[in-house]
Structure 1
Amino acid sequence: MNDAVSFSGWQRADGRKGIRNVIVVAYLVECAHHVTRRIVNLVDDIDVHLIGFPGCYPNQYAYEMMRAVCTHPNVGGALLVSLGCESMNREKLLTEIRASGRPAELLVIQEAGGTKSTIELGLAAVKRLQSEAAKVARVPMYLNELIVGTICGGSDGTSGISANPAVGRCFDALVAADAICIFEETGELIGCETIMADRAITPELGEEIEACVAKAEHYYRVMGFGSFAPGNADGGLTTLEEKSMGAYSKSGSSPISGLIKPGDIPPAGGLYLLDVVPDGEPRFGFPNISDNAEIIELIACGSHVILFTTGRGSVVGSAISPVIKVCANPETYRRLAGDMDVNAGRILEGEATLDEVGEEILQNVIDVASGKRSVSEELGHQEFILTYKAFEPIGPSCLPVRQIQ
C-alpha cells in the first residue's frame, strides 16, 4: 500500500481536504444545549452533528478547541448557538470560522426570542449551511494527505496482544506512505518514556517526550489516581506497566517526528505523540474524563479518522471524524459484533496474523476515507465532550521536522 491510493475528498479554502462534509451545530454554553440539541434532532441528518462547550467561565483551551473542530477539514459549515451572556467569544469564533472559507451563522437565544423561535431560526440556518456546503468541490485525495489518530478504551488483557499492535502495523504502513499518525495519552504511557525517547528523531525531542511523561506522572500523583481502572483489572490486566506497554504498541515502530498538544496540527507526514495532560500545577481533575475527550483532542489536531481499540468493549463513536472500532478480544467481538469494524481477536484464535489484521485495519481506513460509513457512524454515534484545561505552547524542540524543511 502506498500514497498512490486515492479517494475523493472535499477541498477546503485553507488548502486542507476532508473526507466528510458535515455541518456542526455548536452550543457555546450549557444553557444553550437543549435548544441546540433540538435543532439537530429535528434536522435528523447523519451529517449534522451536535458539539459544544458547557462552561460559562472563560477558558482559552476550550475556545481554541472549538475553533479547531469548527474549522476541521471534515466540517463544511457551522451554526453557533449562544445564550447571550456566556464568556465564549462568539463573534471572534464566528469570524474565524468564516475566515477559513466555511459558511457560518450565529444565533443568540436572548436576542432571538427564546427557545421556540431560536429552534425555528436554527432549522432554517442549517438548511442554508447545507446548501452552501454542497457546493464545495470534490477532488482527489491521497494517503499522504490523511491524518489518523488512535486511542484505546475498555482495555483488557488481550488489548496489548492483538488490537493494539495490529494498529501499530497499520500506523507503520501509513507513515511509510507519508501520512500523519497521532497516538496519545501520556498518562497511559508512564514507564515507556525512555523507549519513546529512543525513537525520537532528535535527542532534544527525546528529552521533551521524557519531560511530558514525567509531567503526567506528577499530575496523577498529586490528584491521587492513575490510568489503571478497576475495569482493566477485571479484564485481566495485572499492572500499570502491562497496560502502558499495551497502549504503547499502538504507535508501531516508526520514528517519532514530534510532540504536540491539543489543537496543534502536525506539519508533515510522520508519527506524533499527543500530550493531553494539562500544563502547570494540577487543578482540573482527571485529565480526560472519558475516552471521547481524547478523541476530540485528536480531532482538534486534524485527525480525519480515529482508530479505537477495545478489549472489554465500547460502543462510542464521535462527532466530526469517523471512528473505526478494532476489537481485541474474540469473546467481546462475538457479544458486540454489531458495534465493531475489525475483529483483531482472530489473532488470538490463530485465524490471522498481526500483519494481516494490520492490513485489514488499513483497508478500513481507506474505505472509510472513500466514503464508507464506519459501524459507529451507521449507528448514529456522534459523542462529543469538552471541558476545562490549560496548555502552554510547544517549543521548537517538539517539532524538529520544522527545522529541517
Structure 2
Amino acid sequence: MSAPPTTGGPTLPQVRKLVSTIPGPKSQELLARKDAAVATGTGGVLPISVVAAGGGVLIDADGNSLIDLGSGIAVTGVGNSAPAVVQAVRRQVEQFTHSCFTIAPYEGYVKVAEKLNAITPGEHEKRSALFSTGAEALENAVKIARHYTGRQAVVVFDHAFHGRTNLTMGMTAKNMPYKNGFGPFAPEIYRVPASYSYRDGLTGPEAAARSILQLEKQIGAENVAAVIIEPIQGEGGFIAPANGFLPALQEWTSQNGVIFILDEVQTGFARTGDMFAANHEGIVPDLMTFGKGLAGGLPLSAVTGRMDIMNSAVGGGLGGTYAGNPIACAAALATIEIYEKDNLTERARAIGAIITDFFAGLAAEDDRVGDIRGRGAMIGIEFVETGTQRPAAALTSAIARKAGQDGVLVLTCGTYGNVLRFLPPLSISNDLLREGLQVVADALKANA
C-alpha cells in the first residue's frame, strides 16, 4: 500500500488527543454565540470550534486533537492548508483579489479551464466554465443542456443529491432536511429509479433498462434535455451503481440526442481511486460538473464538456460576480498539481482497501454491518437491524455521536439515514486512519 503523501497541511502532531470532553468549554462558548447569531437552518454535526487542521487531524479551541474522517465533505483531499496551496494563495492575494472574469479576464481562470479540458475523459475538443459552488455548476450544466437541445425535461434519480438552490433542490431526492417547506421547485424535473444493488438485487443493465423504460413512457425521449447522475451517489448513501448501469445510460442518451451529465462534485479529483469516477467504467460524458476537492478548500466549481455543447450559450449567458475567483483558481492549480505529483489516486485506493478490509472483518462478527461499498477513499457502510435489511438510522446516528465524543469525526448520510460515509483526507497516515476506524468500531459495540 502506498504511504501517505508529505504535502498535506501545517505541521501538527498526527495524534488523537482529548484534553476535555467534547465539546469543551471554549467550544461550548462559541456554540452559544453561534446560537445567538447564526440561523438555525445552518445546522451542525460536530460540536467543536476548529482552530487548526492538517494531515488527518482537526484541532479545537480547547486543545483537543480529533481524527478527521470527513475532509469537510470531500473538500480537503490534499490535506487542510497544504503548503503548496497556501503559497499559491498568498502569491495571488498579493497580486489582486478580484476583477470579475467576465469584466476583465485573467490567466488563472484560463489555466484552470485548460487543465480541466486536458485531464477529463475523452479526446474530443472541450470547453470549461468556472463557478463557485457545486450547486451553481449543476444549475449551469442544466442551462447549457437546455439551450443546446432546445428541450426542457431534466431526468434525475432516486437517492440523488445535487444541491440546495431552487433548481438543485428539485433535482435532489431527499426531503428532510433539504427540501421540506422550501417549494415550489423548478418545473420539468423527473425522477427515475437508480441502481442500488444491495436493495434491488438488479444487475447494472437490468437497472438501466428499468430507468429507461420509465423515462420513455412517462416523459418521452424527444422531450429530455439531459440525464444527470452522480457516478457514486453521495448524500443518498454512497451508492455505487452496479457495473454496466452508467454505460447503458450513456448509450441511450447518445442514441436519443440527450445530454449525459456526470455530477462529479463529490467523486472528482482522486477521491475514488482515479482522477474521476467516470474512468472506472470508461464513461465519457457530454458534460461534467466539479466542486469540493477541486481547489484545496477554496470555493470553486466547474462545468467541462464538449465544445459544441458548451459554446452553445450566448456570450454573457454564463458567469457570475465571483465565478472563477482568481484566488480560488490559484488554489486549484496548486491542488491539481498535488493530486498528480503525489499520485493521490493510488493513495485513495490504499485508503479504501484499509477501510473495506476493516469493516469486512467487523461484518463477519456483527450482521448490523449490512453493506460495504464505494470506491477508493469514498466508502459507505450501511447499517441495518440485526437479522434484517431494515435501515438502522438511530444506530448510525449513535455511532457517529459516540465517535465524535471520543475524538473521531465521521459523517452520516443516506436516504434512510443509516450510512456512515468515510472521506478521510488523502494525507492521513495509515496508523491514524486505523485508529479512527477502531474508535468507530468501539462505538458500534457500545451500542449493542
| TM-score (normalizing by structure 1) | 0.27
Structure of higher CA gyration radius: 2
| TM-score (normalizing by structure 2) | 0.25
